[in-house]
A and B are shown apart, each in its own frame.
Chain A
Amino acid sequence: MSSSLEFGSIFLTLKVASVATIVLLILGTPLAWWMSRMKSPLKVVLEALVALPLVLPPTVLGFYLLVFLSPKGAVTNFLSLFGFSGQLTFNFTGLVIGSVIYSLPFTVQPLVHAFSNIPTNLLDAAKTMRASFLDRFKTIVLPLSRNGFLVAATLSFAHTVGEFGVVLMVGGNIPGSTRVVSIDIYNYVESLEYDKAHTLSAILLLFAITVLILVYSMNRRIAMKEKSC
């Protein structure tokens, strides 16, 4: 396989991870906000559901996705009610859906944590000044949970880059279309092309370390700021 294809898989991986992270932030923010303000016992159930992808083996998750997203699957049937026709697996859409579910806890958990730390009386005070919900969210919640968002975004992005089992299952390993870096590496190891596997692995390793250092330095900055307050 030519070296240009290797970089194709890197580009594809970054594309999947970026789109998945954006979708996750759009879906995860209201969900996390709702969970952070929740007082009913239902919260525990939600927390468990969100954490599920951490516990389930990716192949199990991938297999369920394969069943539900198949041309005759429940999700596809549901979408066809709204005029959707087409296939959700073996293409970019399938990769993004898989990644969103797989990385959900990495978005929601840091956000819930950040939102929970926002003092309620601050929001109440703003409410008495007739600030709309959107106003309050923009001027109080967002600035106070900025670091939470940064952590959520970086972790979700990085976790999606590193995923393997789910994308192998719903993606179908199609070169240039669904073959991401981790699958590329796996293929090289399987076909005994260890040198190529090494090169790609080294790139991925470097990337992972950079991201983690970034996240931890952000965490440290937050901790130091909190101390100085």
Chain B
Amino acid sequence: MKYILVLTFYLILVPTFSKTVKIAVASNFMSTMKFVSRNYEQETGNKVLISYGSTGKLYTQIKNGAPFDIFFSADELRADLLIREGLALRDSRFIYARGRIALYSLDLSIKKNAVTILKEGKFKFFAIANPKTAPYGSAAVSVLKSLKVYKSLESKLVFGENISQTFQFISTGNAALGIVSLSQLKDRQGSFFRKGEYYTLETSLHSPINQAAVILKRANKSVEVRFFLNYFKSEKVQRVLEKFGYLTQGKN
């Protein structure tokens, strides 16, 4: 019994004393952030605790007192709202990545005939992320509008809660094709979902998917947080982001 008590106290107290950075990350950036933080932990010995979720959910959690130090949003809106509400530091805001999107299908040869396939519309379901809640979803809608196929495809649209679910709709063959984030497709090496082809969509077809990060008020004086962000902004990490299919500040 005594040991259990000691262990419990240890488990409760240790995380509050060690040099841990707690970050909230939009799900589209999950695999990239996992990769970056693993390297960071190995190189510095510091710890990073990552919570994933949709941007809207993370925002609501932060607003209601969730104990995060940095918020990596999938858009600019939620980061800016937190600043306006006095929950995040204005001078800490930066665009950490620009998302790119791609058409993805298991069976259709979209690499060659992407536009023709969209115009003909000979398929049952087209998956995108919910444009009302996911920035990648509204980017997908604007691509369809730019290509002038939105009206004809509207009745075929199915909506993933986020970009991961959208990916699942397509990779399980339930939707013939759809629009997902390029980073998901780049991340497939060795994963279960290696099949199918994708076609990267020009950024000129949609408004930029600017993903903003902010330091939250509670981490105002934290040295570890600044340290982590410096690492994140380093040239090496920026190359990683590009490898995962994001545009960085350097390359636009």
Chain A residues with CB under 8 Å of chain B are 63, 66-67, 69-73, 87, 89-90, 168-169, 172-174, 186-187, 189-192
Contact = CB atoms under 8 A, between A and B. Distances in A.
Contacts of B175: 90, 172
Contacts of B168: 63, 66, 169
Interface in B42-69: 54, 56-57, 59-60
A69 B157 CA distance: 18
B165 A70 contact: no
A173 B159 contact: yes
- Secondary structure call for the B interface: mixed
Identify the 4 closest CB pairs spanning chains A and B, nearest first: A172-B158, A190-B56, A190-B133, A173-B159
Interface of B: 54, 56-57, 59-60, 81, 124-125, 127, 130, 132-133, 157-161, 165, 168-169, 172-175
A89 B174 contact: yes
Given A66-B172, A168-B165, A189 B157 contact: no
Nearest to A174: B158
15 contacts: A66-B169, A70-B173, A70-B174, A72-B173, A87-B124, A87-B125, A87-B174, A90-B158, A90-B174, A90-B175, A190-B54, A190-B56, A190-B132, A190-B133, A192-B56
Contacts of A186: 161
Contacts of B125: 87, 90, 172
B132 A191 contact: yes
B161 A71 contact: no
Nearest to B106: A72
Contact of B169 (A172, A187, A189): A172
A89 B59 CA distance: 31
Given A66-B172, A172-B125, A174-B158, 20 more contacts: A63-B168, A66-B168, A67-B172, A69-B174, A73-B173, A90-B175, A169-B168, A172-B158, A172-B159, A172-B160, A172-B175, A173-B160, A189-B57, A189-B60, A190-B56, A190-B57, A190-B130, A190-B132, A191-B132, A192-B56
